[in-house]
Amino acid sequence: MSTENKRLVIVRAVRDQHLTPTQAAARYRVSRQWVYELLKRYDAHGSAGLAHRSRAPRHRPSATDADIAARICQHIDATRDYQRPIKPTQQPPEPPENR
């Protein structure tokens, strides 16, 4: 069963089978608060509201502006040394002489 289907089953259990959110939470092994959240989403947006939501931030106030980032990249490309010296491979040390 997909996550969205499980969420819809939980909502239907509360709405159609007249379970309390606490009973539905116990039956489907989720928290009571999550059941209330699902009911709130379902009431606001229907079954589409039960889809997965990204937890990534929607706004990053400390992000670098795109034009500044582009200038930084241009500077790095212009100053990068593409002819980096190749280090010679190291030879293993010689075994000690037996006396």
Total residues found in the chain within this entry: 99
In a domain, 46, yes or no: yes
Which domain, by its residues, includes 38? 3-50
Q: Rounded CA gap, 28 and 10, in Å?
A: 7
Burial class (CB in 10 A: 0-12, 13-18, 19+), 37: middle
Residue 88: predicted pLDDT: 64
pLDDT digits (tens, 9 = 90+) for 17-66: 999 999 999 999 999 999 999 999 999 999 999 998 888 888 888 888 88
On whether residue 73 sits in a domain, the answer given is no
Number of domains in the chain: 1
Output 76 or 10, whichever has higher pLDDT: 10
**Residue 3 above 80 pLDDT?**
yes
Secondary structure element (H or E) that encloses residue 41, with its range: helix 32-45
Which pLDDT belongs to residue 91? 61
Written as six digits, the tokens of 73 are: 């990249």
